Amino acid sequence: MEISKAEFEVMNAVWQGAPCTAADVVARLDNQTDWHEKTVKTLLNRLVKKGALGFDKDGRRYLYKPLFGRDEYRIKESTSLLNRLFDGRVSPLVSAFASRKQLSQQDIEELKDLIKQWEQTND
């Protein structure tokens, strides 16, 4: 199951708080995009058909809810990118950023903390 760019924005809006109505999603997206309400409804529909969203009926409205979490999606997308571009591993990605001077002192501190955590848990 593949989610398009526009569909992802809608998922994001739903992840912000579910269950939620189509009107909620439209309202949440109003800040980020200038999509017509009809456009948003179309995308909700497609996401339901794709199995990315489910819903319960509330009268004649739908209460939408995501069928997988943001974290799950993040990992799936990241793994896919790492596989396509970085031999499936994290460090070549970090390395690419490092050699492009794309890492800040803060990034480094955060990575060091993560490593410390990991070692406490895994060693």
For helices 90-99 and 70-85, angle between their N-to-C axes, nearest 10 degrees:
70
Phi and psi for 60 in degrees, rounded to 5? -100, 10
Residue 4 contacts which entry, DNA, its own copies, none (Cβ below 5-8 A, type-dependent): DNA
Residue 111 contacts which entry, its own copies, DNA, none (Cβ below 5-8 A, type-dependent): its own copies
Strand boundaries in the chain, DSSP class E:
53-58, 61-66
Contact between 5 and DNA by CB under 7 A: the answer reads yes
Span near DNA by CB under 7 A; candidates 59-67, 72-80, 85-93, 109-117: 59-67
Contact between 68 and DNA by CB under 7 A: the answer reads no
Six-digit token string for 102: 């794309």
Residue 69 contacts which entry, its own copies, DNA, none (Cβ below 5-8 A, type-dependent): none
Q: Which is nearer to its own copies, 68 or 86 (CB)?
A: 86
- Measured CA distances, 44 to 61, 68, 105, 111 (Å): 13, 15, 41, 37
Binding site for DNA (CB under 7 A): 2-7, 21-23, 34-36, 38-39, 41-43, 45-46, 48, 59-62
